[in-house]
Structure 1
Amino acid sequence: MDPVIIVGAGPVGLALALALARQEVPSVLLDEGLGKDEQRAARTVVLREDTTALMERLAGVPLTGAGLRWTGWRSMRRRQTTREVVFAPADGAPERRGGGHGGAVSRNGTAEEAEVADGPAPLHIAQHVLTGALRAAIAREPLIEVAVESRLDSVEQEPFGVTAHTRGPRGTWWRGSHLVGCDGPRSTVRKLLDIRFPGRTAVERHAVAALRAELPWPGEALLHRTPPWRASGTAIGEISARPLPDGVWRLDWLLPPGKELVTPELLVTLVRETLAGWHGGSTPAYDLLDTGVHTVHHRLARRWRAGRVFLAGDAAHLLGALGTHGLDEGLRDVDNLAWKLALAWHHGSRESLLDSYQTERRAVVAARLRAADQALPLLRGGGPLRSYVPGTARGQDALLADGHLGRGALGAPGSYAGSPLQPAAGESEAPVDTEPGAAVADVRVTAEDGSSVRLRDRLGRGSLLVVLVAPGTGVWERRHWVSAGIMPRLAAAVTALPHPAELLVAESYPGAAAHTVLLVRPDGHLVTALSGVRPADLYQAAEATLGGSAKEQAAANAG
C-alpha cells in the first residue's frame, strides 16, 4: 500500500511521521528546505506534560537535559500602597508623631507584589533542538523517506489514493494513501483545497530576546505585569522570562497595539532597562544571543479534512495569546490523527473514525480560542473592571498562570467528551476522577511482560489499552496473580475485542474502586470505566471507539 504523504518538516510534520512509523505505517515527508533547521536562540517552544511525554516517546530520548523544566512560576505586579512617613524634630529630640516640629503623614506609593504558583512543570526548549532530536530519530527509521527541496504545487485525489506533485531539484509525482498538510500558517495544502482560514490578525505582538545572564529567580519562569519602568517612552505591557539551560533566558515584552517598527536599538534598551529594573537599578553583565518580534494570530480553518487530505498544526489553527502555545495543540493533532490513519491504512478506511479527527480536534481548539478571546478584554482592556473590582488582579494572574502552566480553559489538554466515538453511558459504568473523553492520569502500571512502566509509555502504539485497577498486586510477582481471580476472564475478553488491545494492571487509579476496568484510546483519552469484567459492554465500547461496528461501517461506506 502507498505511504502517507506529509507536507511540511516542522515539529508537527516530523512528529507525525514518527507517530505513524511506530504503528508500522510508511510515510514520505516533503521538506521545502535542506533538511536542517535554522539555529535561533530566541525561537523556543514550551511543552506541557502530555506533549513532552509524546515528544520523548517519538524521539526515543529524554528531552529534559536539552531543555529546562521550570522550578516555579512567579507572577509580579504593581500595587498601590499607603505608607506612614515619620519625621524627626529639627532640634534632635526623640521622634514623635503628631504636632510640633515632627510627625507622621500618609503617602501613596507603589510596591511590587509577587506570587509563586506551584503546578505542572512545562519544558522550555529551543525549537531547533527539538526538531534536531526528531530528525535524528527519523534518520534511524526505515519507514520514513525524507524528500528535501521538495515544494508542493498540486494535489489530486482519487477514490483509493492521493497524487501530489513537487517542484525543485527533485520535482516529481508522489503517490500516497492519504496526505496531511503540516505546512504552517501559509499552508499550500490548505490553499490548494480552497479551505477558508478566518480569524483575527495581530492579536498581540511581542518583542523577544534570548540572552545569557543571572536573574534573581534562577530556574523560575516569571511574568511581570505593568512594570514601573518604561523604555524610551514605550508603553510596554507585561514582561515574561523563561529559563533555558546554561544560564540562557528568553524574555518577551508585550508591545502596545500598532505596527511601529521594533528597532535593534529599542530591543537593546528594553533588555538593559528590564535587567536594571530587576537588579535594583543597575544593569548586570549579559550576553545578548538573539532577538526578534513574535506576532500572535488567532485563526481556525473551516475544514480539517477533505477526502483523503487532512490539515494539522499551524495549517489548521493559529493561537498563542495569554500563554497558550500553538505547538502543543499541533502535537495533540498528531496524537489524535496518527492512530486513526494507521487503522485506516492497515484495515481500510472507516469514514466515521477519520471524520472524528476534525470533530474532536477542531472543537478543542475552538474552545481554546474562545477562552483566550473572552479573557483578552479583561486582561488588556483596562478600565474600571480591571482597576477597581476587588480581587481582579489576582484573578487575572490566575488566568495568565493557567495559560502558561497548562491548566484550565486556557491551557489544559482538551476533552473529547462530545466525540462521536464516545459510547453511550450504561449501567455498568463506574465513577472515576477522569471524565470519559478526558486524558487519563499517568499512573504506574504492570505490563503483560511483568515490567512496571508509566501508563503514558504504552500510548501511541495503535493498540487500545485495558487497565484493571487491582490493589495489592504490586506486592506479588505477576505469576502469582495473573491467573487468579478475575484476570483469566478479563484476559479472554481483551483477546476477543475487535482491535488489538494490551492488558495492564494498576495498583490504583484516582477515584476508582477495586476491580474497575478502564478502556483507553491509543492517544490516552478515556473511553469508559466499567465496574468489573463486563465483556459485552467492553466490546461495545471498543466498537464505538473504532467508529462503529463492522456492519455499521459497511453501511456507511456503501452510502
Structure 2
Amino acid sequence: MDPVIIVGAGPVGLSLALALARQEVPSVVLDEGQGKDEQRAARTVVLREDTAALMERLAGAPLTGAGLPFTGWRSMRRRQLTRKVVFEPDGTAHGRSGEYGPTTERAAEGRKGTVEEPGGPAPLHIAQHVLTGALRTAIAGQPLVKVTVESRLDALEQEPSGVTAHTRGPRSTWWRGSHLVGCDGPRSTVRKLLDIRFPGRTAVERHAVAALRAELPWPGEALLHRMPPWRTSGPSGGEVTARPLPDGVWRLDWLLPPGKDLVTPELLVTRIRETLAGWNGGTTPAYDLLDTGVHTVHHRLARRWRAGRVFLAGDAAHLLGALGTQGLDESLRDVDNLAWKLALVWHHGPHEALLDSYQAERRAAVAARLRAADQALPLLRGGGGLRSYVPGTARGHDALLTDGHLGRGTLGTPATYAASPLAAEDGESTAFVGTEPGAPVVDVRVTAEDGASVRLRDRLGRGSLLVVLVAPGTGVWERKHWVSAGIMPRLAAAVTALPHPAELLVAESYPGAAAHTVLLIRPDGHLVTALAGVRPADLYAAAEAALGGPAKTQETANAR
C-alpha cells in the first residue's frame, strides 16, 4: 500500500511521521526547506504533561527543557507590590513583603490565594529548534519515514484509491500516497488547494519577546506579573511573563497595546532593563541578549479538517494562543488523534466513520478553547467586572489568566471527547471512575502481559486498544500466580475476541475505580468506558463503537 504523504516538516509533520511509523505505517514528508531548523532562542514552546510525554515517546529520549513551576504576581494601583507568593509542592504558600516599596498589611492580606498552586507536574518549556532537532534525529533512524527536502507542493489530485501530489523544486515530481495530511502552517498550501475557508480574528494579541541570559532572584520559576508597577514607557498595564530555559536563559514576553506600533530596538531594551530592575530591587543586573522578536496571536479555525483522503492538522487547521494557551500543544493532540485512525485504516481497510471522527473531535475541542479565550479576553484586557460576565469566576483575574499557562480550566485543560461519535453507550454494567468517558486517562503504573511493570502512558500510540483490569494485590504476587486465576482467563478470552487488537494490562489501582473494574482505552489515551467486572458483550460493543462501528466495504467507501 502507498505511504501517507505529509506536507510540512515542522514539529507537527515530523511528529505525525513518527507516530505513524510507531504503528508500522510508512510516510513521505515533503519539506519545502533544506531540512534544517533556524536556531532561535526566542522561539519556544510550552508542552503540557501529556504532550511532553508524547514527544518523548516519539523522540525515544527525554527532552531537554525546563519545568514551569509558577510564581504569581499582582501589583497594587499605588505603585505598591503585594508580597511575592511561592507555592510549594505540598500546597503551602510563603512570601516576602516590601521588596519593591512599602507593602501594607491590608495589601499583603489581599494577596493571599490569588494564584493557585497548579497541582501536578509543571508544563515543559523548550526551544522549538531543540524539539524539532530531537524529532529529526529520531526520523534519521526510522526506515519507514522518508523526508524529501526542497519539495514544495503545488498540486494534488484525489481518487477513490489514493492521493497524488506534485512538488516543484530541483527534482519536480509526482508523489503517490494512500492519504495526505497538510501540516504546512498558517498559510497552508493544502488548505488553499482544497479551497477550505479559514475564518477568524487577526492580531488578537501582540507580544514583544526577548531571550536573554541573566540571573533572576527565582531560578527555575516561571513568572507571571499581570500589572507591573514599574512601567514607565508606553501605556501602563499589560502583563509580563518570564519562562526559564536551561543554562540560565529566560524568555520574556511583554503584552503590547492594541495597534500596529513598531517595536523598535530602543523600546525593547527599555522594557528589558525596567523589567529586570523591577525584579531586582531597582538595579538592572548584567544580562546577555540572545534573540528578540514580535509574536502576533491570531485566532482562526478551518471550516473543514477533512476532504476525502486529505486532512489538515496543526496551524493549517487552527490558530490560537492568547492568554497563555499553546498552539503547538493543541497541534500535537491533532497528531495523537489522527495517527491511530489513519494507521487502522491503512492496515485494515476503509473505515469512514473513524476518519470522520478526527474532525468531529479535534475541531470541537479547539473551537471550545477559542470560545473560552474570546470570552475571557474582554474581561482581562478591558477591565470589565468578572462576576457580571462569567458566573463562577470569583477566583479573580489572576487565576483566570493562569489557567491557559498552567493547562487547566476551559483555557488549558486537555480536551474531553464526551460528545464524540465514537462514544460508547452507557449500560447496566457501566462503572464510574475518576475519569469521565472521552477524557485522557491517568498515568498509573500497570503490569503488561509479559510481566513488565510500566507506566500506562508508555503503552499508548501503538495502534492497539488497551484493556486495564483494576486488581488490588496483584503487585505483590508474581504474574504466574494470578494470570490464570480468578477472572483473568475470562477477561483474556474477551480481549482476544475484540474487533481490533488489544493489549491486556493490570493495575493495582485507578482513581475512583473499584476492584475488578475493567477500563477500555483508545490508542491515544482517552477512556472509552469503564465496566464493572468482565462483560464480554459490553466490552465488544464499546470497542466497536470506539472504532466507529463495523468497517464498511471498499465499495461503500468508494460510493462516498
1:556 CA drift (Å) = 6.9
Q: Distance in 1 between matches of 2:32 and 2:230?
A: 44
Q: Distance in 1 between matches of 2:105 and 2:235?
A: 25
Aligned to 2:357: 356
Q: How does 1:182-193 map to 2 (within 5 A)?
A: 182-193=183-194
Q: Does 1:508 align with 2:506?
A: no
**Counterpart AA for 1:435:** E
TM-score, normalised to structure 1, is: 0.92
- 1:234-274 alpha-carbon deviations (Å, 9 max, x no partner): 44510000001011100000000000000111111110010
Aligned to 1:28: 28
Q: How does 1:104-503 map to 2 (within 5 A)?
A: 113=111, 115=115, 117-119=117-119, 120-235=121-236, 237-383=238-384, 394-503=395-504
Q: Distance in 2 between matches of 1:384 and 1:432?
A: 37
Which one is further off, 549-558 or 216-225?
A: 549-558
Which one is further off, 374-383 or 523-532?
A: 374-383
1:378 CA drift (Å) = 0.6
> What secondary structure is seen at the aligned counterpart in 1 of 2:253?
strand
Change (3 A) 1:316 1:82: closer
Unaligned runs of 5+ in 2: 81-103
Change (3 A) 1:134 1:474: same
- 1:421-479 alpha-carbon deviations (Å, 9 max, x no partner): 11111110011010001110100000011011110000000000000000000000111
Q: Distance in 1 between matches of 2:394 and 2:215?
A: 28
**Counterpart AA for 1:69:** G
Aligned to 2:70: 73
- 1:194-244 alpha-carbon deviations (Å, 9 max, x no partner): 000000000000000000111111111110011112243344510000001
**Counterpart AA for 1:75:** G
Q: Is the 8 A contact 1:224 1:239 kept in 2?
A: yes
- 1:136-177 alpha-carbon deviations (Å, 9 max, x no partner): 000000000100000000010011000000001121100000
Aligned to 1:51: 51
Q: Distance in 2 between matches of 1:490 and 1:187?
A: 47
Q: How does 1:95-110 map to 2 (within 5 A)?
A: none
1:553 CA drift (Å) = 9.2
> What secondary structure is seen at the aligned counterpart in 2 of 1:28?
strand
Q: Distance in 2 between matches of 1:60 and 1:535?
A: 35
> What secondary structure is seen at the aligned counterpart in 2 of 1:528?
strand
Q: Is the 8 A contact 1:6 1:180 kept in 2?
A: yes
- 1:536-556 alpha-carbon deviations (Å, 9 max, x no partner): 110111111111024799867
Aligned to 1:6: 6
**Counterpart AA for 2:66:** L
Q: Is the 8 A contact 2:187 2:316 kept in 1?
A: yes
Change (3 A) 1:544 1:289: same
Q: Distance in 1 between matches of 2:467 and 2:8?
A: 35
Identity between Structure 1 and Structure 2 (%) = 83
Which one is further off, 72-81 or 515-524?
A: 72-81
1:118 CA drift (Å) = 3.6
Q: How does 1:529-544 map to 2 (within 5 A)?
A: 529-544=530-545
Q: Does 1:41 align with 2:41?
A: yes
Q: Is the 8 A contact 2:123 2:406 kept in 1?
A: yes
Q: Distance in 1 between matches of 2:542 and 2:234?
A: 62
Q: Distance in 2 between matches of 1:380 and 1:325?
A: 19
Q: Is the 8 A contact 1:350 1:553 kept in 2?
A: no
> What secondary structure is seen at the aligned counterpart in 1 of 2:370?
helix
- 1:314-362 alpha-carbon deviations (Å, 9 max, x no partner): 0000000011000011000000000000011111120000000000000
**Counterpart AA for 1:32:** E
Q: Distance in 1 between matches of 2:304 and 2:23?
A: 26
Change (3 A) 1:385 1:507: closer
- 1:35-80 alpha-carbon deviations (Å, 9 max, x no partner): 01000000000000000000000000011xx10112x211211135
1:393 CA drift (Å) = 8.4
**Counterpart AA for 1:238:** E
TM-score, normalised to structure 2, is: 0.92
Q: Is the 8 A contact 1:214 1:247 kept in 2?
A: yes
Change (3 A) 1:352 1:226: same
Change (3 A) 1:506 1:260: same
Q: Is the 8 A contact 1:379 1:386 kept in 2?
A: no
1:402 CA drift (Å) = 1.4
> What secondary structure is seen at the aligned counterpart in 2 of 1:484?
coil
> What secondary structure is seen at the aligned counterpart in 1 of 2:247?
helix
1:558 CA drift (Å) = 5.7
Aligned to 1:99: none
1:408 CA drift (Å) = 1.3
Q: Is the 8 A contact 1:82 1:109 kept in 2?
A: no
Change (3 A) 1:115 1:354: closer
> What secondary structure is seen at the aligned counterpart in 2 of 1:246?
coil
Aligned to 2:93: none
Q: Does 1:15 align with 2:30?
A: no
Change (3 A) 1:297 1:556: same
1:110 CA drift (Å) = 7.9
Q: Distance in 1 between matches of 2:426 and 2:558?
A: 26
Aligned to 1:91: none
Aligned to 1:61: 61
Between Structure 1 and Structure 2, how many residues are aligned?
A: 533
Q: Is the 8 A contact 2:433 2:511 kept in 1?
A: yes
- 1:285-336 alpha-carbon deviations (Å, 9 max, x no partner): 1111000000000000000000000000000000000110000110000000
Aligned to 1:86: none
> What secondary structure is seen at the aligned counterpart in 2 of 1:45?
strand
Q: Distance in 1 between matches of 2:467 and 2:385?
A: 53
**Counterpart AA for 1:160:** S
Q: Distance in 1 between matches of 2:107 and 2:504?
A: 60
Instruction: Choose 1 or 2 for highest CA Rg.
Output: 1
Change (3 A) 1:4 1:385: closer
Cα RMSD of the aligned pairs, angstroms, is: 2.3
Q: Distance in 2 between matches of 1:403 and 1:321?
A: 8
Q: Is the 8 A contact 1:81 1:110 kept in 2?
A: no
Aligned to 2:83: none
Q: Is the 8 A contact 2:79 2:230 kept in 1?
A: no
Unaligned runs of 5+ in 1: 84-106
Q: Distance in 2 between matches of 1:4 and 1:392?
A: 45
Aligned to 2:91: none
**Counterpart AA for 2:478:** E
Q: Distance in 1 between matches of 2:369 and 2:79?
A: 40
Q: Distance in 2 between matches of 1:545 and 1:386?
A: 40
Q: Is the 8 A contact 1:77 1:224 kept in 2?
A: yes
Change (3 A) 1:172 1:557: closer
Which one is further off, 313-322 or 543-552?
A: 543-552
